[in-house]
Structure 1
Amino acid sequence: MRADTTLVVRTSAELVAVLPFLMGYHPHETVALVGMRDGRIEFGACFDLPPPDIDESDLRIGTRDVAAGVLRQEPELVVIVGYGPPERITRVVLRIAEVLQTVGVRIDDVLRVHEGRWWSYVCDDQECCPAEGTPCLPSDSVIAAEATYRGQVALPSRRDLVAQVSSVDGPARLAMTAATDRARSRFNGLLEADGATKRIRQAGRLAVREAEKRYRSGGVLTDAETAWLGVLLTDLSVEDYAVDRTGEQEWRAGLWTDVLRRVERVYVPAPACLLGFTAWQLGRGSLARVAVDRALEVEPGHELAGMLHQLLGFAISPAMVRRWRR
């Protein structure tokens, strides 16, 4: 997850308040690592908690993998935030801090957040970090309002984030099923014509450009247009063309979210990957992850989904890729 670096965090309380907006949802039973530079959030990563009965050797291996991902970001300093009760959080976050310090990462703070309060494992000053915890800032705090103003949203849970990329149902699904049947017949007509490969490539590129034009201007695709685009994206040359055109525009995330939710299940992988790649470039790592998971659920061997899965798993940020390109 790459953060909006114009958001300046001055205190631990502000960091706790803004983190859900950066992750896209309010975390539960998880650990977040935030890389900071000059008071600005440079990157963030979120990890599920290991099982409560995990043995020490397995925990050590897991935290080493986490440390490797953090090192790739080259942070100036790191803040570790665990979400949950102490019996689930303390052992894990302290182990992560220990491993990171061993490899030379500077730890600014180690925090725990639970039921509207936060605690610091680093600060022992009872005036600023009392034993009973410090109340979290209200939902309408200045830092939260600033994040909201910049278009960042904090959903109630990760489940709600997953729901944002789930298939539509009811009458909308019935309409898409009928539109997809017609799109398949149309596609079969291209396959039977002379120069089928060229015709499909041309039709696919036109459909991608028309979809981009529609969403860039605030419109949406019809059922027929969505189904046609979904079918055409099964052609690798069309999928590659769409991937090459992705960028850091919110309307692109809206486009591929809409297509992903509306296409029939068999056509999910391509728009799911396009949403994942777009979200990753926008710094919305949590959305990218759930989109890629949808692609792999439908087609475990999908090549682009597998590549994006590794990209996210190794915590490679868009900034790192831009540096490599230069």
Structure 2
Amino acid sequence: MTAVPYLLGFRPDEGSVVVIATRQRRVIFAARGDLPALDAPTADLLDLAANLVPVVERQQPITHLMIVGYGEPGHVDPALRILNEAFANRGITILDLLRVTGTRIFSLRCDDPACCPPQGTPFDPTASLVAVRATAAGLVALPDRAAVAARFAPVDGTVRDRMREATAAALTRLTTLQAAGNKEADEAGAQAVRDALRQHDGGKLLTDDEVAWLTVLLQRTAVRDRAVELTQPHDGHVTFWAEVTRRAEEPLVAAPAAVLAVTAWRCGDGALAGMAAERALQADPACRLAHLMLQALHAGVPPTVFDQAAPTDTTTE
């Protein structure tokens, strides 16, 4: 159980269920969902199963599945049993059903007190060998979903004031540029993306004016799509787009947040991807890229689909 937070990127809250799919003892997929309320009708649990089963089936071939619920037994155990039956009916082998209550793990499949005592097995999620190895490998387990959202939370204070002024100047500059034609504006946008990523890769922070110019150009669909193509699936570029999203003025947040969502998804960070896509839709409910990203996440579409369809020219030089 100490590995679950590193698979998700954060520690699951109570009322969570996590499904972990493996292929030949290697984890290939992990997803978290919210359990229905304690007093919810059984139909809500069946709906949860109906949503999770096809998502997992898309990850085939898998050899085993583990389902973990977080919370008290009265809330978690009925859900685990319904999920177990739903997956078993599809011919998927369930390795174990586990409940995490506090700092103890309980197995619903094992009644041998030698390995699964009735009082549960104590564990420390921060002091295990798994945690040490994951940290050494650069994996991070944030405390909760709020900590994930904090990565791209908007700046405030004097930083926000400076960005507001820089964005006003950038919008005036863009109006002048667009008067020369769409081609010139799109080319300027693509160049701004290349320059920004190159500066970030070189360890140089973007100025307020540079971020503002980038965010106004990203409002052009062609520029935003070019940004997706040029961005690479590594944590450095996730950090870059999170920072651009933080500094963008609210009306301009959707585009960088959507690019952040795609980048996080390609890195295997579904939690950040989903939250960034939701942030994009909060700023612009019509953001098509964010809608597509959420659909892909809900359907369990693997990020390899992007790499198979993306253009081969992704250089930022």
TM superposition score normalised by structure 1: 0.91
CA contact (8 A) 1:211 1:255 kept: no
**3-state SS in 1 of match to 2:152:** coil
User: What is residue 148 of structure 1 aligned with on the other side?
Assistant: 135
**Structure 1 Cα separation of the partners of residues 8 and 126 of structure 2:** 16
User: What is residue 40 of structure 2 aligned with on the other side?
Assistant: 54
In the TM superposition, 1:158-307 aligns within 5 A as 158-192=145-179, 194=180, 196-307=181-292
In the TM superposition, 1:304-315 aligns within 5 A as 304-315=289-300
CA contact (8 A) 2:266 2:306 kept: no
> Cα distance, 1:184 vs. partner?
0.8
Q: 1:212 is matched by which residue type in structure 2?
A: L
CA contact (8 A) 1:266 1:298 kept: yes
Q: 2:244 is matched by which residue type in structure 1?
A: V
1:88 aligned onto 2:75:
yes
**Which stretches in structure 1 are left out of the alignment for 5+ residues?**
1-15
> Cα distance, 1:219 vs. partner?
2.0
Q: 2:51 is matched by which residue type in structure 1?
A: D
The higher-RCO structure (CA 8 Å, 6+ apart) is 1
Compared CA separation, residues 32 and 172, structure 1 to 2 (3 A)? same
> Cα distance, 1:114 vs. partner?
1.7
Compared CA separation, residues 209 and 38, structure 1 to 2 (3 A)? same
User: What is residue 314 of structure 2 aligned with on the other side?
Assistant: none
User: Alignment length, in residue pairs?
Assistant: 308
Compared CA separation, residues 321 and 100, structure 1 to 2 (3 A)? farther
Same amino acid, percent of matched pairs: 37
CA contact (8 A) 2:55 2:299 kept: yes
Runs of 4+ in 1 over 3 A off after TM superposition: 319-325
Compared CA separation, residues 122 and 320, structure 1 to 2 (3 A)? farther
Q: 2:53 is matched by which residue type in structure 1?
A: A
CA contact (8 A) 2:35 2:45 kept: no
In the TM superposition, 1:26-175 aligns within 5 A as 26-28=11-13, 29-74=15-60, 75-175=62-162
Q: 2:186 is matched by which residue type in structure 1?
A: R
**Structure 2 Cα separation of the partners of residues 175 and 324 of structure 1:** 39
Moved more, 131-140 or 253-262: 131-140
**Which stretches in structure 2 are left out of the alignment for 5+ residues?**
311-317
Moved more, 19-28 or 51-60: 51-60
Measured against aligned partners, the alpha-carbon deviations of 1:101-130 in whole angstroms (never above 9, x if no partner) come to: 101111001111121111111111101111
RMSD of equivalent CA atoms: 1.5
CA contact (8 A) 1:215 1:254 kept: no
**Structure 1 Cα separation of the partners of residues 263 and 287 of structure 2:** 17
Measured against aligned partners, the alpha-carbon deviations of 1:240-276 in whole angstroms (never above 9, x if no partner) come to: 1111223222211111011001000111111111111
**Structure 2 Cα separation of the partners of residues 80 and 114 of structure 1:** 14
CA contact (8 A) 1:165 1:290 kept: no
**Structure 2 Cα separation of the partners of residues 76 and 43 of structure 1:** 12
Compared CA separation, residues 85 and 317, structure 1 to 2 (3 A)? same
CA contact (8 A) 2:36 2:44 kept: no
Compared CA separation, residues 164 and 321, structure 1 to 2 (3 A)? closer
> Cα distance, 1:286 vs. partner?
0.6
TM superposition score normalised by structure 2: 0.93
**Structure 2 Cα separation of the partners of residues 184 and 255 of structure 1:** 22
User: What is residue 11 of structure 1 aligned with on the other side?
Assistant: none
**Structure 1 Cα separation of the partners of residues 207 and 292 of structure 2:** 31
